[in-house]
Structure 1
Amino acid sequence: MAHLADKLKKILEQNMNEGRGLAGYRGQLREMFGITEDDNGSPFLNRAERLIDPLQLDAREIAMTFLGREVGGSDIRRAFALREQFGTFSEAEGAVVLPSHFARISAFTDTVAGLVDALTMEAYTAPEFIGDSLMEVKQERVNGGKMIGVMNDGGVSGDLLDGEPFPTVGLKETYVEIPDNQRYGNVIQINEKTFIYDRTDMLESSCKNAGTAVARNKEVRQADCVLGITNTYSRDGNAANTYLTTNGEIPNNYTNSSTNELTNYANIDTAFQILEGNTDPGTGFEITVAAPQLLVMPQRQMNLESVLYPEFVRRVTDTGNTLTQTQRSLIRPINPVVLSRIWYNRLIAAGVSTTNAPARWYMGDPKQAFRYRQIIPFQVNSAPLSSEDARREIVGIWVAREHGVPFTKEPRFMYRGTKE
């Protein structure tokens, strides 16, 4: 929209007049698009704080506002070429172009780059991608290896006589092996006709495709980890599946899966008994999940709501002679999560039948059970052009990428219920 482009131009002029320059404009532009950072320093799209919807911007209007109403292909190519040659305004001051003129050119390319970033982030953070909400995400700078911890033997107290020394806690190293990092990305390309013929829809589609591709790839890897399709768990050199129906040998002495289709609250109670029957392999202390999350496939959403939120519950004895009625059965806090079709389709791809896959459900504390080792958070960076790009009339290239790997750190905090 023309008035939005004019608004951006006024913001540029304000930053230039008040001494903040193009750096101030770029920062304010990102804020207006709602792009910020989370606690890990990763880019985060805050839609509630967004002042400009990137879908409302018009590529040709941006070009005409910053480069002139008669903008043509040569102007577009020159703008991107100067940006690639000289970089930002502060780097170009004193170069062959006048700072004021370069400021408008740089503001144009900065605006396009901000728009690409915002549109790609919009797709990357779509609601159907829930993997990050179910895993602890931790920034690290290593590849593979081990997550090292310290295990004690639980001997921390005793009924001591006066003058008797306190017992020494037995400490030893324990570790969980971590898979090698995984690198994924996609390329966004735009040509001069995007601005000449107003092909804003092509720019939006390219950004959406790139953001969606990277996000979905990450989501698939996270889903496979949580669902137990990919089994990464190995403690102290002893590998085990994420979900076990019977205890293995120490340190993998846990049970967290059973044939237990979710049809009523009794199935949830059974899951609690199995989940909290597990103990720490070092101390023997109990595993407790205070406010578990309950994950179901999308086909069971209505069934889940009928189990968790009934107005009342009626129970009949085996003989049918006694009928009791109570209010809502589940007082314990449970956070329900309906998984997306992506997660369901991963079970199908793994060979689970269309009869059994909808009945799979999971309960526990996934952030204690799983972690995403983040090496490079999702980002959109510009890339240099090649001679081949110039022959294809490409004027701008960006790479959308992320780098990390999911893994199981402690399966005792999750339970899986199955139909089969």
Structure 2
Amino acid sequence: MLNTAYEARDFAKKVNDRARQGRHAYEGVMQEVQDLRRAGEITDNFSFRTLYEYLVPDGYEALRAMEHRRKMGSGVVMEAGGDAVMTTNFSNIIGQIAYADVLNNFEQPEFIGGNLVTQIPATTGQRELVPGVTMIGDQADQVGENEEYPTVGIGEQFIILPEVFKHGFILNITEETIFEDKTGLVMQNFNKAAESMAITEEKERLSTALGITNTYARNGGPQQNTYGNTHTQGDFDNLIASNPLVDKTSLSVAKNAFADIIDPDTGEPIVLGTKYQIVVPDPLEWTLGDILGAKEYRSQPTRGASATQMISGNPINMGGRTYEPLSNQYVSSVGGSDTSWFMGAFMKAFVERVIYPTQVQVQDKTGPLSFDRDVISRVKVRRRTRSAAKEPRYVQKHTA
């Protein structure tokens, strides 16, 4: 698909037909390009020059004119009235291919950061105050006759989320790129830039979730460590020392430690839900797999060799809870440890403020750089997001 001149020619006819059918049909064929690129059916063997020739009206003549201008000496190059080259279809196709590559880089299966934050819309890039909710604990059980119902409202508790930064880059497809057909090189460089941007996002999320970047600030107090034995503006301990990940006992220590943490709004123990997430560095991935995957546990009291051996099922699989193991190489490199591990409900603890998610925008030859720099088409990749700690009571860090 689009990898040969014949395929490009046939697809150009399809694009023009869909454009005449209306916006919905045109968007459908653009989505088809994106899907085919993501599936690997459009490879880097496609040609900018061939696409330009078939997708741009009179593209063949435009390329010949381009060649003529490159060969001619001094003089004034003029464009006849009404001969402006319309590159919209070409730019849109390149945009879809670029967006597919961006998605492939950002949605790599080994990335785990997206599972650790809950995305929330942000209306401003500046710091944002998020008020707490005055809850009523267990006081909603009974309402007497002719008595008022308890009121749930905005409380005096609040946190401050940090400002949101912008990231991105621009790919310029120039006259030289098309004429000299540097498609493979350009797309390789584009993918390197997209991969770098995706890795940056992954490391930012992990840096927040692992407590390397500390953003937690409550009730107007200063920013403090995400993980610690004490916290101001509502004390709690979510840093458990001397608890290496060895066996089910390690998880039991973590589970019991959560029982001592109180929700500051309700005065009740925090509720993590039915799914516990466990984040471990790469060297501990198999250890965690052995703990969670064990079918049974065997123990024998130390009263002598003749004591009865006790065999039981894995208690981790009992009680209706599930445990989600999460690991990759960045946990060690970002967290700075091969032995520390983390457990909790990360998506309750951390948020990601989103002004706009990862986007791809295209600009055709009508843009201002067409004349200045011989730019035929431009592709811009950008995102404006920032992860932050909202309620670190829902997570723990365990050190060896």
TM-score of the pair, normalised by structure 1: 0.78
Task: Give the whole-Å Cα distance in 2 for the aligned partners of 1:395 and 1:312.
Answer: 65
Report matched runs for 1:372-411 at 5 Å.
372-382=352-362, 384-386=367-369, 390=373, 394-411=375-392
- Change in 2 beyond 3 A, CA 1:408/1:4: farther
Deviates more, 1:335-344 or 1:285-294: 335-344
- Choose which of 332, 349, 366 in structure 2 pairs with 1:369: 349
Is the CA contact 1:4–1:57 (under 8 Å) kept in the aligned structure 2? no
The match for 2:262 is 279
TM-aligned CA deviation for residue 157 of structure 1: 4.4
Task: Give the whole-Å Cα distance in 2 for the aligned partners of 1:14 and 1:158.
Answer: 65
Task: Give the whole-Å Cα distance in 1 for the aligned partners of 2:228 and 2:345.
Answer: 17
The structure, 1 or 2, with the larger RCO (C-alpha pairs under 8 Å, 6+ apart) is 2
| Percent of matched pairs sharing the same residue | 21
TM-score of the pair, normalised by structure 2: 0.81
The match for 2:328 is 340
The match for 2:112 is 130
The match for 1:254 is 236
Whichever residue aligns with residue 373 of structure 1, its letter is: R
Whichever residue aligns with residue 141 of structure 1, its letter is: T
- Change in 2 beyond 3 A, CA 1:56/1:7: farther
Q: Deviations over 1:49-102 (max 9, x none)?
A: x59546563333323433556773755999xxxxxxxxxxxxxxxx9359xx84
Report matched runs for 1:36-115 at 5 Å.
52-53=41-42, 55=44, 57-67=46-56, 72=63, 74-75=65-66, 96-97=82-83, 102=86, 105-115=87-97
- Change in 2 beyond 3 A, CA 1:62/1:327: same
Whichever residue aligns with residue 131 of structure 2, its letter is: I
Is the CA contact 2:159–2:219 (under 8 Å) kept in the aligned structure 1? yes
The match for 1:304 is 288
Task: Give the whole-Å Cα distance in 2 for the aligned partners of 1:380 and 1:167.
Answer: 50
- Choose which of 199, 204, 210 in structure 1 pairs with 2:193: 210
TM-aligned CA deviation for residue 399 of structure 1: 2.3
The match for 1:87 is none
TM-aligned CA deviation for residue 7 of structure 1: 4.3
The match for 1:352 is none
For the pair 1:359 / 2:348, whether they are aligned, the reply is no
TM-aligned CA deviation for residue 244 of structure 1: 2.1
- Change in 2 beyond 3 A, CA 1:233/1:318: farther
Q: Deviations over 1:113-167 (max 9, x none)?
A: 322232233223333333222210112212212112222353624778x757357
Report matched runs for 1:262-277 at 5 Å.
262-277=245-260
